[in-house]
């Protein structure tokens, strides 16, 4: 039901009109081809900080764009005209598309097999495969390439978000003795910083695979409509600069007080750096409004938000001077439970790691993080080297393994033949090439066939698949981790 859908401002061209690049390809394949088989991977790359990826987002693309009768006579006519204008010659395969309409009721004779959503897969392994199921429509496989390669985005966001979670889990475990509250430690501030509503929806949902804290409402809607989760994330009322500065510079105290009055029962976040964060903490929160702050409880805590500079450490000490602190069970200091800090400026994987190193006796319980661009926008298809390549064709009834292997960049070589993914006897995931995999060991699941979605994952299942492993939460393993993971990959693959 299109009308109930999120109002995407970036209008996707309808399916038939989708791809300029592939539109002329049907004329270029060798004669008598009956099957094209392609796959998607995040290629391995030396020196990358990401050695494994979280698979997420395919179900949305399938449900939104590929299921059901997607080809109609009107779309064929529209596309014919469109490409006539675009190429100034008749290159659109009108007959081919009409055959899809007549033979398959406009449903795509395609099979997609994929890793279960939420699974953590070392880079360099197959993540999904695409093939035509009807020999007449071999050209369809790579026709939908552009859309499927866009999977790089939700995969990359889910992967980065999970890397944040690893760092935060270790920090929290080491300084508080437990993982309580981990799911709320990283808040998604990225909505305004992404390129479109659809990106916000996909990226916001990808973050929700790992956390439950967000302001990106589009991501919540996606989780609800495409992943069966009624409410995937939470937020708290928050003051922003306009609500503070509209009172005038001399009335910052009144502005703060107003927020406390309006939101007395639940937690509330107040941006406090409009003029001078140190003055605000020491003289307003810590003095003039001190009683008002102390009246609050853990369930209605005040979360102070510095929004500029790098003041979390200085700030926490000012707050300690005014409100005191106590030691938790593992000997780290915590502010009173009615008072917390959220650091939401300049947060990325590097700065979060720095905060962790510089904790100076403070527990991670005191600080929440907010992340915008580094989570949803400062990334691209090269971040995880995502690629979609053909690896197998059939013609004249015979199969042939195909691949690319450019002399100019061997790392861009592709896999050969039909692929499967298995856990080998050492417990590591590996891709088996050339059709040699045993079907009973294959971890790839058919998710789409002939226009129907045949497997539906809930966000709950996906979150379970993406859970941190024990060794990823254990602070003592930290220093050896990159090496360990590296060895896993070297030993595990191919
Ligand atoms: C294509 O198939 C036809 C019919 O089977 C056959 O006669 C022809 O030789 C084939 N062409 C090629 C290039 O294999
Ligand atoms: C999909 O379509 C192909 C060819 O039209 C057919 O051989 C195959 O059995 C179909 N798959 C299912 C699950 O119906």
336 φ/ψ angles, rounded to the nearest 5 degrees: -55, 150
CB 97 within 8 A of CB 71: yes
| pLDDT beyond 80 at 470 | yes
Query: How far, in Å, is the centroid of ligand 2 from the Cα of 450?
Result: 6
Under the banding of pLDDT at 50, 70 and 90, the label for residue 26 is: low
How high does pLDDT run on average in the chain?
89
Where would I find the H helices in 105-210? Answer: 140-143, 145-149, 152-176, 197-208
CB 59 within 8 A of CB 457: yes
Spell out the residues 6+ positions from residue 202 whose beta carbon is closer than 8 angstroms to its own: 57, 60, 153, 154, 157, 219, 222
Asked whether the CA dihedral 206, 2, 112, 405 is positive or negative, the reply is negative
Beta strands 429-432 and 52-54 are unpaired
Decide which of 51 and 479 is more confident: 51
Ligand nearest to the CA of 133: 2
| pLDDT beyond 90 at 203 | yes
Query: How far, in Å, is the centroid of ligand 2 from the Cα of 133?
Result: 6
Lowest mean pLDDT among 170-179, 282-291, 479-488: 479-488
pLDDT tens for each residue of 450-465: 999 999 999 999 999 9
Question: Which atom of ligand 2 has the smallest separation from the CA of 450?
Answer: 1
Ligand 2, CB within 6 Å, residue ranges: 109, 133-134, 449-450
Average pLDDT over residues 409-424: 92
Nearest CA to ligand 1 atom 8: 32
Q: Name the residue of 103, 109, 394, 446 whose CB sits within 8 Å of the most ligand 2 atoms, as the mutation to test its pocket.
A: 109
Spell out the residues 6+ positions from residue 368 whose beta carbon is closer than 8 angstroms to its own: 184, 185, 186, 187, 213, 303, 340, 341, 342, 343
β-pair partners for 271: 305
| pLDDT beyond 60 at 5 | no
Decide which of 11 and 312 is more confident: 312
Beta strands 268-271 and 186-188 are unpaired
Average pLDDT over residues 82-108: 91
Alpha carbon separation from 416 to 389, 390, 403, 405, 429 (Å, rounded): 10, 8, 5, 11, 18
pLDDT tens for each residue of 353-370: 888 776 789 999 999 999
What are 387's two structure tokens? Answer: 């690629």
Q: What pLDDT shows up at residue 20?
A: 41
| Any atom of ligand 1 within 6 Å of the Cβ of 491 | no
Lowest mean pLDDT among 27-41, 131-145, 379-393, 415-429: 27-41
Spell out the residues 6+ positions from residue 4 whose beta carbon is closer than 8 angstroms to its own: none
What are 229's two structure tokens? Answer: 């989760």
Average pLDDT over residues 94-102: 93
| pLDDT beyond 90 at 28 | no
| pLDDT beyond 80 at 303 | yes
Average pLDDT over residues 286-297: 96
Average pLDDT over residues 113-133: 98
Average pLDDT over residues 432-458: 97
Q: What pLDDT shows up at residue 492?
A: 36
Burial of 466 per CB tally in 10 Å (0-12, 13-18, 19+): buried
Q: What pLDDT shows up at residue 146?
A: 81
Q: What pLDDT shows up at residue 307?
A: 80
Under the banding of pLDDT at 50, 70 and 90, the label for residue 478 is: very low
CB 55 within 8 A of CB 157: no
Q: What pLDDT shows up at residue 22?
A: 55
Q: How much of the chain, in percent, has pLDDT values that exceed 90? A: 76
Nearest CA to ligand 1 atom 13: 31
> Could you give the domains of the chain?
2-150+385-457 (no CATH), 236-345 (3.20.20.70)
Nearest CA to ligand 2 atom 7: 133
Q: What pLDDT shows up at residue 27?
A: 65
Average pLDDT over residues 59-75: 94
**For the chain, how many helices (H) and strands (E)?**
18, 18
| pLDDT beyond 70 at 38 | yes
Of 187, 240, 175, 205, give the one whose Cα is nearest residue 57. 205
Decide which of 451 and 397 is more confident: 451
pLDDT tens for each residue of 249-262: 999 999 999 999 99
| pLDDT beyond 90 at 424 | yes
| pLDDT beyond 50 at 479 | no
Alpha carbon separation from 211 to 161, 187, 207, 235, 463 (Å, rounded): 8, 8, 6, 12, 9
Decide which of 490 and 109 is more confident: 109
| pLDDT beyond 80 at 441 | yes
Ligand nearest to the CA of 34: 1
| Any atom of ligand 1 within 6 Å of the Cβ of 31 | yes
Average pLDDT over residues 220-246: 95
Question: Which atom of ligand 1 has the smallest separation from the CA of 32?
Answer: 1
Question: Which atom of ligand 1 has the smallest separation from the CA of 30?
Answer: 13
| pLDDT beyond 80 at 144 | yes
What are 64's two structure tokens? Answer: 């939104």
Query: How far, in Å, is the centroid of ligand 2 from the Cα of 109?
Result: 7
Under the banding of pLDDT at 50, 70 and 90, the label for residue 488 is: very low
User: E-strand spans in 219-378?
Assistant: 268-271, 302-305, 326-327, 333-334, 339-343, 367-371
| pLDDT beyond 80 at 9 | no
């Amino acid at each position: 039901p299109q009308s109930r859908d999120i109002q995407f401002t970036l209008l996707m061209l309808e399916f038939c009109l989708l791809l300029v690049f592939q539109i002329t390809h049907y004329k270029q394949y060798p004669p008598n081809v009956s099957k094209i088989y392609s796959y998607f991977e995040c290629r391995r790359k030396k020196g990358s900080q990401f050695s494994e990826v979280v698979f997420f987002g395919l179900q949305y693309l399938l449900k939104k764009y590929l299921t059901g009768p997607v080809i109609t006579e009107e779309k064929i006519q529209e596309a014919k005209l469109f490409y006539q204008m675009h190429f100034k010659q008749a290159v659109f395969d009108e007959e081919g598309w009409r055959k899809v309409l007549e033979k398959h009721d406009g449903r795509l004779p395609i099979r997609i097999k994929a890793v279960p959503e939420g699974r953590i897969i070392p880079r360099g392994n197959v993540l999904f495969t695409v093939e035509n199921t009807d020999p007449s429509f071999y050209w369809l496989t790579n026709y939908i390439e552009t859309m499927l390669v866009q999977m790089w985005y939700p995969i990359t966001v889910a992967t980065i978000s999970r890397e944040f979670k690893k760092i935060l889990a270790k920090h929290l475990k080491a300084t508080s003795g437990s993982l309580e509250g981990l799911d709320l430690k990283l808040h998604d501030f990225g909505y305004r910083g992404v390129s479109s509503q659809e990106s916000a929806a996909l990226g916001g949902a990808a973050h929700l695979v790992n956390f439950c804290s967000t302001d990106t409402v589009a991501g919540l809607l996606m989780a609800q409509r495409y992943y069966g989760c009624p409410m995937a994330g939470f937020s708290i009322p928050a003051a922003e600069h306009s609500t503070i500065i509209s009172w005038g510079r001399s009335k910052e105290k009144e502005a703060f007080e107003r927020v406390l009055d309006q939101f007395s029962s639940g937690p509330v976040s107040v941006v406090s750096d409009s003029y001078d964060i140190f003055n605000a903490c020491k003289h307003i929160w810590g003095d003039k409004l001190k009683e008002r702050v102390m009246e609050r409880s853990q369930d209605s805590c005040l979360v102070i938000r510095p929004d500029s500079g790098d003041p979390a450490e200085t700030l926490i000490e000012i707050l300690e001077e005014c409100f005191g602190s106590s030691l938790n069970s593992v000997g780290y200091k915590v502010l009173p439970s009615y008072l917390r800090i959220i650091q939401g400026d300049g947060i990325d994987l590097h700065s979060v790691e720095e905060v962790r190193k510089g904790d100076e006796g403070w527990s991670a319980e005191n600080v929440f993080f907010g992340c915008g661009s580094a989570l949803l926008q400062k990334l691209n298809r090269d971040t995880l080297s995502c690629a979609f390549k053909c690896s197998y064709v059939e013609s004249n009834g015979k199969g042939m393994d195909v691949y690319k292997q450019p002399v100019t960049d061997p790392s861009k070589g592709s896999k050969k033949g039909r692929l499967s993914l298995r856990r080998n006897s050492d417990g590591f995931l590996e891709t088996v090439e050339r059709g040699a995999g045993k079907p009973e060991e294959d971890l790839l699941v058919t998710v789409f066939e002939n226009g129907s979605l045949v497997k539906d994952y809930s966000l709950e299942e996906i979150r379970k698949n993406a859970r941190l492993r024990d060794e990823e939460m254990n602070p003592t393993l930290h220093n050896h981790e990159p090496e360990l993971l590296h060895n896993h990959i070297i030993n595990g693959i191919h």
